[in-house]
Amino acid sequence: MKQGGEDVRYLFLNVTAGYGSTGRIAADQCRALSAQGHTCVLAYGRMAANCDDVTTVRIGSDLANRLHGLESRVLDNAGFGSRQATRKFLRWVREYDPDVIWLHNLHGYYLHVGELFSYLRTCGKEIHWTLHDCWAFTGHCAYFDYVGCEKWKTGCHDCPQKGTYPDSILADNSRKNYLRKRALFTGIPNLTLTVPSRWLEGRVKESFLKDYPIEVIYNQVDKSIFRPTPGDFREKYQLENKIIILGVASVWEARKGLKDFLELSRLLSEEYQIVLIGLNEKQLAALPAEILGLPRTDNVRQLAQAYTAADVFVCPSTEETFGMTVLEACCCGTKTVVYQDTACEEVAKAYGGIAVPRGSAHLRDAILELTGGKNR
């Protein structure tokens, strides 16, 4: 790479730009390096938001994304569609000629990883890859602790999570995917892995990626946004006299702990109000009356107001590689409760939060301890 003081040309790749936690992380990296005088481009597959100040390039199109997703649902080959879109993108990459290539999430139906890594193997560039989940070293899934699967350590097959993201309704291609990824992702010159937690570092060291240098760099948030932020959240939802227990997720899938919140609502007295942000329409319709459900928001200032209004932020996720919402809540001055033996524990404890064994009763006990409230 060029020496200090010289303009370094960076290329970042992520499924989104400025949207969702990984999209915001990639966009913030671009902003920070651009402020130092470097040239940065963020290439993304779908969904861009809150990044008008970042130079972006889209990979593929809506149609290409949909076709890749459809192919994946039938053939279970996420990451191996979008071949033509990837080839077109790589022609642009050769013209841009970056000094450093920084990968983030490569799954999400927008890239052909075979085409990409064939280029990376011979390009001679400095390469970094920030892992935000475990998809890179499994034959299908992005998370596996939730179902107690350890096939990824020796070779995936007969996937117990075929129906989870990136879900397949027909084929189970996990063995072939595992072998293809292992062949493609190993032995890349000048590649360094970055992970956001010791938890994920431990998993990577047990995977076929173990021979790469690994750096643990905790994710950061924009503290000019995620800070104590007074607002009208309580008044807007008539919660002035309630003890607010907040949960936030971009997608409330099973491992995020929605079931635990449903159980928790039956254990807390009426002085408490559980508020969940990020629910889809089906989940909102099925929610019991004692829980206030809200759809996903990408308005980060409104989100900061919600964190600030809450008395306790609870993250009952059973498997996270970091816990970005936990950090956001902590930076807004909110007390946090998470489960033990997850990466969220690393974040919460750094800010004085509580980590408890899994189960809604343990969550309740921690909430009562933090708020001095009453049991139901």
Question: Taking 60 as the threshold, does the pLDDT of residue 4 lie above it?
Answer: no
Q: How high is the pLDDT of residue 253? A: 86
Question: Taking 90 as the threshold, does the pLDDT of residue 376 lie above it?
Answer: no
Q: How high is the pLDDT of residue 254? A: 85
Mean pLDDT of the chain: 95
Residues 137/152, Cβ–Cβ less than 8 Å = yes
Residues 324/221, Cβ–Cβ less than 8 Å = yes
Question: Taking 80 as the threshold, does the pLDDT of residue 374 lie above it?
Answer: no
Q: How high is the pLDDT of residue 298? A: 80
Q: How high is the pLDDT of residue 23? A: 94
Question: Taking 90 as the threshold, does the pLDDT of residue 1 lie above it?
Answer: no
| Comparison of pLDDT for 109 and 321, the residue scoring more | 109
Q: How high is the pLDDT of residue 290? A: 94
Residue 57: pLDDT band with limits 50, 70, 90? very high
- Reduce the DSSP state of residue 191 to 3 states and report it: strand
Q: How high is the pLDDT of residue 5? A: 63
Question: Taking 70 as the threshold, does the pLDDT of residue 375 lie above it?
Answer: no
Question: Taking 70 as the threshold, does the pLDDT of residue 7 lie above it?
Answer: yes
Residue 222: pLDDT band with limits 50, 70, 90? confident
- Reduce the DSSP state of residue 192 to 3 states and report it: strand
Nearest-angstrom CA–CA distance, 346 and 329: 14
Q: How high is the pLDDT of residue 214? A: 98
> What is the total residue count of the chain?
376
Q: Which two tokens stand for residue 70?
A: 């459809």
Q: Pick the range with the lowest mean pLDDT from 98-107, 135-144, 292-301, 367-376.
A: 367-376
- Cα distance from N-terminal residue to C-terminal residue, the chain: 61
| Comparison of pLDDT for 250 and 110, the residue scoring more | 110
Q: What are phi and psi of 27, to 5 degrees?
A: -65, -40
Residues 62/32, Cβ–Cβ less than 8 Å = no
Q: How high is the pLDDT of residue 221? A: 87
Report percent pLDDT > 70 for the chain: 98
* Amino acid letter, residue 341: D
Among residues 258, 259, 242, 269, the alpha carbon closest in space to that of 364 is found at 269
Q: How high is the pLDDT of residue 20? A: 85
Residues 245/314, Cβ–Cβ less than 8 Å = yes
Question: Taking 70 as the threshold, does the pLDDT of residue 145 lie above it?
Answer: yes
Q: How high is the pLDDT of residue 165? A: 94
Report percent pLDDT > 90 for the chain: 90
* Amino acid letter, residue 374: K
Q: Which two tokens stand for residue 145?
A: 């602790």
Q: How high is the pLDDT of residue 144? A: 95
Any bridge partners for residue 248, and if so which?
277
Question: Taking 70 as the threshold, does the pLDDT of residue 3 lie above it?
Answer: no
CATH 3.30.499.10 fits 9-216, yes or no: no
Q: Which CATH class is domain 233-371?
A: alpha beta
What is the pairing mode between strands 191-195 and 9-14? unpaired
How many Cα atoms sit within 13 Å of 7 on the Cβ side? 8
Q: Which two tokens stand for residue 315?
A: 């993250």
| Comparison of pLDDT for 374 and 120, the residue scoring more | 120
Q: Where are the domains of the chain?
A: 9-216, 233-371
Bond preceding residue 357 cis, omega within 30 of 0: no
